[in-house]
Structure 1
Amino acid sequence: MEYIHRRAPGTMLTAEALATLRADDSLGSANFFDRCLALSTTRDLPFVYLDRPFGLAGGTPVSELSLDTLQQFRMSLAAWYLERGVGQGDVVAVCVGDGIAPFLHYIALTSIGAAISLINSSMPADIGIAYMQENGFADLVVDARSLATSAFVQRWAASAAHATIDASAARFQAAAQMPAWWPYQPEDSTLVMLSHTSGTTGLPKAVRFEHRQFFMGKRARIGRFAEGLDERLLTALPQSHSAALSHLETAVLHGIPTYVLGTQDGESVRAAIGMFMPTTVVAFPKSYMLLVEGGVADNEFATVRRWFSMGDAAHQSHTRRLLAGAPASRFIDAFGSSELGMALFRSESTLSGIAPQRSIGRPVDIAVAKILCAKTGEEMAPGEIGLLAVRSPTITSGYWRKPGQTVGAWRGGYFLTGDVAFCKQGDFYQIDREVDVVSTAGGPLYTLLLEEVAQQVAGVCDVSVVGMDAPGGPAILAVVLPEREPGQSLEAIADTVLQALRRAIEARSGHLDEDGVAVAVVRDLAFLPTGATGKVLKRLLRDLGPAILHHAPGQQGALPSVLHVSRRAAAHAAVHAAAHETAAMQA
């Protein structure tokens, strides 16, 4: 690690090189790597570091990569794809092990004019199979790691061995012989990637990313992302996600020393921070929750200046605990979705000034946002709740093979994100996903707002709130993960959360049956249905809810993680396994 800190800062691109990149109108996601190769004066110096070695057949696995090393892997994989008949305009489904592999396959395929459809190796098997079929992918590229660890890949390989292509067979070539036309020269509209959504509203959708569109967010930040020559980036995102690829593109564009994690668990993030001493950390909210769950010592993360949280807005309580570990740092909630092409909202917190609950801040400089009425499509007055709508050159051109859904996602020139929100004094607040709002006789209840209420209860580490149908009307279930040493009994935590939720519901004029609020305290959240990116899939949790409440802890058939249930609201409702929805989608 002393080697990293001694040598890595020298890989940063010069101000003149960055100015050249900014002035290049043809620069985009399919040719940025070649431009950086041409401008770098330190292409042989390592600046990308891995938590586990990566290699190809016939080569020595490496943990440190320079631009030259990245180029060798890129050419080796590109040659392998060309040998297999992949060419310009093709779209290739790829599910490889987390870490640097997704990025290498991405830059290899775009270099030959093909596009990659990256699939997270944590995708549930049934969902992954359905996603492949839905999008017309006959073959799947895998590697030794995804074959060993991914339930989806294993299921696919067992049922379609002839359509399973193992990239572990690709041979490392220090100087691969490429066609005279290589690398491919893209157009602005050249498709570079399909990125799947998290699946919060159903089967994950394949979102189109193009050469110019996907690069617009990076272009706006060339020369502005790094805060100094000592900049060091730790990325703990799922590396197949478009946000992870964006940050690796940014790291290459600037020559920023970067540590790439192939896991998102909290203790791995903690160890990586302590070892690599980054100035910037980027992760999804789930990783930050897992990090603070393990406890955070005062000033434990002293080198960190910025925490970037991608995707949904982070819980305020997690932000506060994280900042205690790096008192001089800022926590930046970068709110976005796959369809937006980048995080288009930015909310910032410091230890002395935590952003308000559910704040996603203001749109970034290349975006415009509005709150629209769900019924009329007209813009809502400040403070009124409606649908979040955004306009930006980074937004996807559409869903793959779904023209109807593409057209339906737009209203009046603005893209509907699927979030319920409001705007007050120029700041936007996301309060729920549209599909998760609970309708009651007294008005709607917003599950994300209720989660914030429960998060403030002493002894609560994390919580997921979902609405369910019950014989007496709508019901609310809060699944609570206590802190490791909560300082009070599980019964006391459940009761306090229960009373806090009831008060919040009453204050919001919500109307529920007297047994319509339930709290389940659990050992961990691993049993909750989640998408490949770690988001809780509340549409599936609704089906699982009756099973949680029907069985008291210790009863035969009880879920092993349930430690205490405060109420049995909806206990006699029919129990629907989450798998039923998957089966219905496949049918």
Structure 2
Amino acid sequence: MVKPWLELYPEEIKKELDYTPSPLQDYLTKAAEQFPDKAAIHFMGKEVTYRDLYDAALKFANHLKSLGVEKGDRVAIMLPNTPQSVIGYYGTLFAGGVVVQTNPLYMEREIEYQMNDSGAKVILTLDILYPRVTKVMKDTALEHVIVTAVKDYLPFPKNLIYPFIQKKQYGIVVKVEPSDNLHLFTDIMKTAESKPIEIEFDFEEDLALLQYTGGTTGFPKGVMLTHKNLVSNAVMCDAWLYKCKKGEEVVLGILPFFHVYGMTTVMILSVMQGYKMVLLPKFDAETTLKTIQKQKPTLFPGAPTIYIGLLNHPELKKYDLSSIDSCISGSAPLPVEVQQRFEEVTGGKLVEGYGLTESSPVTHSNFLWDRERVKGSIGIPWPDTDAAVFSMETGEKLPPNEIGEICVKGPQVMKGYWNRPEETEMTLRDGWLLTGDLGYMDERGYFYVVDRKKDMIIAGGFNIYPREIEEVLYEHPDVQEVVAAGVPDPYRGETVKAYVVLKENSSISEEDLNAFARKHLAAYKVPRLYEFREELPKTAVGKILRRALVEEERNKLQDQDEKLG
């Protein structure tokens, strides 16, 4: 197939890359050999060197072996971004295990489902989350729980003060006593051996990760990602960031590692290239601004809501953000206004990328340097990645500028869904991954997403793409965040509703917004309904949950019908 985008590559980016067939954890071994005394992690004032990270991961691996973990067994990690999450991840791989990333915001029902679906034998979690795990443990295959605490990797005196902060913040302090199936992370680090474990790996076939999708369309599915999938995507990322220097960059780690985007672009890439990760367990605008000023990160992978949160902080101007050189935004569409403002504030580059859990996750991005960036485009495919647009009616490949479903191929594409052969067959066809996103490619090879297939609004027979409406409303100077969705309408089938968060001290009305929208959109695309909110529902990585809002509307209508009935 002709790949027009390859003509756009600068000479620094190879069109075909080499992938050493080594399992993912080998890169930590190499980093410890090459950069033993360099900081791998900075966490709230404490630093962990690559040598210490490697030793700790081996200790964790040897402890897992002592618990009976064998090659292919699943080990769940239910942690925010902390040193323990990195240690547990690589330690599981050293032991031959498969990591199951588990969102620490999950409640009992969600934990139980994921543990049963994955068949995880061991879980590593925080002390304050331990009570949730104990409630479901008997109904799952879990045999052992390893408990850690945020204070375990805090410097003195923060480690002494933190339990009091935790009690004030969460209302609890959990005291955990070790037993046959309950293990303390701190004890493991004191007593376990840090000897290498010899295990044979099949680079192409062996799983490194079960990454669960968000579950917005039903039960979450476990995406099977192999060592090759994750290594290849990190190698592609490094090729794209060709001006970055091995062993020298500082990466801001706000994106959670239990989401594949943060895992690949922050954790895996950093270990592969000997970068320092500056970890933050959650996003808070003020803490993030202070951290940027003090730690001077050069790379900042993020999501639009993170950049928006920083830009709208009332004291933004007092912070120095000039260390930031490169940012790739993912997880949701990046409004053009946000891109421009962030670049003005930092002096760095912010570009939109694209991917999904099933592709480890990145497939496309705009260029950061030396080439133009195309407004509204997700960019072009990464090296060794093929992409095309297929008709949803005929299944045929479409010519440029025609809208269909974006499909991708490449070494980063998943092996399939865990224990779901039928759904795997529906999503992987002839080597192509069907993304579920509607879009088109222009003549030069730039791709554009117009919307999720399932988010397209059909009102009065017209196809309406929420992203187009959102882009327009984001241009209004009083709008901080917005999401458009299709809600039931007895006459049009669906109608457009805009949910809006206004900037502080703004007092614009629905009429003002409507007049603004009418200047820029065809009449049938203009929202018929507006709702002003203090905040919008989001995933842990900052993606706005459009479907949650649609569900709210359906429930409201149902309640009204029941009252009338």
TM-score using structure 1 length? 0.78
Deviation of 1:76 (Å): 2.2
* Equivalent position to 2:201, from 186, 199, 204: 186
Contact 1:320–1:354 under 8 Å retained in 2: no
- The answer for the alignment partner of 1:309 in structure 2 is 329
Give identity over the alignment, percent.
20
Deviation of 1:458 (Å): 2.1
* Equivalent position to 1:403, from 398, 421, 444: 421
Give RMSD over aligned pairs. Answer: 3.1
AA aligned to 1:259 is V
Contact 2:80–2:282 under 8 Å retained in 1: no
- The answer for the alignment partner of 1:7 in structure 2 is none
* Equivalent position to 1:36, from 31, 34, 42: 31
Between the aligned partners of 1:536 and 1:480, the Cα distance in structure 2 is 12
AA aligned to 1:198 is G
Between the aligned partners of 2:562 and 2:208, the Cα distance in structure 1 is 43
What SS is found at the alignment partner of 2:39? coil
Contact 2:339–2:351 under 8 Å retained in 1: no
Q: Structure 2 vs 1, CA of residues 282 and 24 (structure 1 numbering), >3 Å: closer, same or farther? A: closer
- The answer for the alignment partner of 2:379 in structure 1 is 361
- The answer for the alignment partner of 2:278 in structure 1 is 259
Between the aligned partners of 2:71 and 2:50, the Cα distance in structure 1 is 24
Contact 1:468–1:542 under 8 Å retained in 2: yes
What SS is found at the alignment partner of 1:249? helix
Deviation of 1:35 (Å): 2.9
Q: Does 1:460 align with 2:479?
A: yes
- The answer for the alignment partner of 2:173 in structure 1 is none
- The answer for the alignment partner of 1:338 in structure 2 is 357
Between the aligned partners of 1:575 and 1:343, the Cα distance in structure 2 is 45
Between the aligned partners of 2:307 and 2:23, the Cα distance in structure 1 is 31
Q: Per-residue displacement from partner, 1:52-78 (whole Å, max 9, x unpaired)? A: 7xxxxxxxxxx2111111022212211
Contact 1:232–1:280 under 8 Å retained in 2: yes
Between the aligned partners of 2:98 and 2:312, the Cα distance in structure 1 is 39
- The answer for the alignment partner of 1:519 in structure 2 is 530
Q: Does 1:46 align with 2:39?
A: yes
Deviation of 1:31 (Å): 2.2
Q: Structure 2 vs 1, CA of residues 412 and 159 (structure 1 numbering), >3 Å: closer, same or farther? A: closer
What SS is found at the alignment partner of 1:280? coil
- The answer for the alignment partner of 2:75 in structure 1 is 92
Contact 1:371–1:386 under 8 Å retained in 2: yes
Q: Does 1:542 align with 2:550?
A: yes
- The answer for the alignment partner of 1:4 in structure 2 is none
Deviation of 1:453 (Å): 1.4
Contact 1:93–1:117 under 8 Å retained in 2: yes
Between the aligned partners of 2:135 and 2:285, the Cα distance in structure 1 is 28
Contact 1:72–1:175 under 8 Å retained in 2: no
- The answer for the alignment partner of 2:223 in structure 1 is 207
- Counterparts of residues 73-152 of structure 1 (less than 5 Å): 73-123=56-106, 125-137=108-120, 140-147=123-130
Deviation of 1:155 (Å): 6.0
Deviation of 1:263 (Å): 1.1
Between the aligned partners of 2:212 and 2:63, the Cα distance in structure 1 is 25
Deviation of 1:291 (Å): 1.4
Deviation of 1:220 (Å): 4.0
What SS is found at the alignment partner of 1:463? strand
* Equivalent position to 1:196, from 212, 218, 222: 212
AA aligned to 2:72 is G
Give the gaps of 5 or more residues in structure 1: 1-21, 53-62, 551-569, 577-587
Between the aligned partners of 1:389 and 1:119, the Cα distance in structure 2 is 27
Deviation of 1:33 (Å): 1.7
What SS is found at the alignment partner of 1:436? coil
Q: Per-residue displacement from partner, 1:187-224 (whole Å, max 9, x unpaired)? A: 11211111112233333221111112221122345586
What SS is found at the alignment partner of 2:375? coil
Between the aligned partners of 1:82 and 1:35, the Cα distance in structure 2 is 22
- The answer for the alignment partner of 1:561 in structure 2 is none
Contact 2:224–2:415 under 8 Å retained in 1: yes
Between the aligned partners of 1:163 and 1:218, the Cα distance in structure 2 is 33
Structure 1 consecutive aligned stretches of length 4 or more whose deviation exceeds 6 Å: 157-162
- The answer for the alignment partner of 1:280 in structure 2 is 299
Between the aligned partners of 2:141 and 2:209, the Cα distance in structure 1 is 25
Q: Does 1:393 align with 2:414?
A: no
Contact 2:409–2:432 under 8 Å retained in 1: yes
Between the aligned partners of 1:220 and 1:161, the Cα distance in structure 2 is 37
What SS is found at the alignment partner of 1:281? coil
Between the aligned partners of 2:437 and 2:141, the Cα distance in structure 1 is 40
Between the aligned partners of 1:294 and 1:461, the Cα distance in structure 2 is 11
Deviation of 1:419 (Å): 0.7
Between the aligned partners of 1:325 and 1:124, the Cα distance in structure 2 is 38
What SS is found at the alignment partner of 1:475? strand
Deviation of 1:25 (Å): 3.1
Contact 2:41–2:83 under 8 Å retained in 1: no
Between the aligned partners of 1:317 and 1:571, the Cα distance in structure 2 is 38
Give the gaps of 5 or more residues in structure 2: 1-16, 149-183
- Counterparts of residues 419-568 of structure 1 (less than 5 Å): 419-425=437-443, 426-472=445-491, 473-486=493-506, 489-491=507-509, 494-501=510-517, 506=522, 517-525=528-536, 528=537, 530-545=538-553
- Counterparts of residues 58-77 of structure 1 (less than 5 Å): 63-77=46-60
Between the aligned partners of 1:119 and 1:172, the Cα distance in structure 2 is 21
Deviation of 1:339 (Å): 0.5
Deviation of 1:320 (Å): 1.9
Deviation larger for 87-96 or 368-377: 87-96
Between the aligned partners of 1:574 and 1:324, the Cα distance in structure 2 is 51
Q: Structure 2 vs 1, CA of residues 161 and 421 (structure 1 numbering), >3 Å: closer, same or farther? A: closer
AA aligned to 2:251 is L
Q: Structure 2 vs 1, CA of residues 301 and 29 (structure 1 numbering), >3 Å: closer, same or farther? A: same
Between the aligned partners of 1:250 and 1:183, the Cα distance in structure 2 is 24
Between the aligned partners of 1:499 and 1:128, the Cα distance in structure 2 is 46
Q: Structure 2 vs 1, CA of residues 98 and 164 (structure 1 numbering), >3 Å: closer, same or farther? A: farther
Contact 2:290–2:319 under 8 Å retained in 1: no
Deviation of 1:135 (Å): 3.9
Contact 2:41–2:276 under 8 Å retained in 1: yes
Contact 1:217–1:342 under 8 Å retained in 2: yes
- The answer for the alignment partner of 1:25 in structure 2 is 20
Deviation of 1:156 (Å): 3.9
Between the aligned partners of 1:80 and 1:90, the Cα distance in structure 2 is 14
Contact 2:289–2:319 under 8 Å retained in 1: no
Q: Per-residue displacement from partner, 1:411-453 (whole Å, max 9, x unpaired)? A: 3431111111111232111111111111123321111111111
Deviation of 1:108 (Å): 0.5
AA aligned to 1:523 is E
Q: Structure 2 vs 1, CA of residues 137 and 43 (structure 1 numbering), >3 Å: closer, same or farther? A: closer
AA aligned to 1:50 is F
Between the aligned partners of 1:520 and 1:251, the Cα distance in structure 2 is 42
Q: Structure 2 vs 1, CA of residues 90 and 230 (structure 1 numbering), >3 Å: closer, same or farther? A: closer
Between the aligned partners of 1:127 and 1:464, the Cα distance in structure 2 is 26
What SS is found at the alignment partner of 2:217? coil
Between the aligned partners of 1:575 and 1:452, the Cα distance in structure 2 is 37
Contact 2:451–2:467 under 8 Å retained in 1: yes
- The answer for the alignment partner of 1:567 in structure 2 is none
- Count, aligned residues: 503
Between the aligned partners of 1:470 and 1:71, the Cα distance in structure 2 is 58
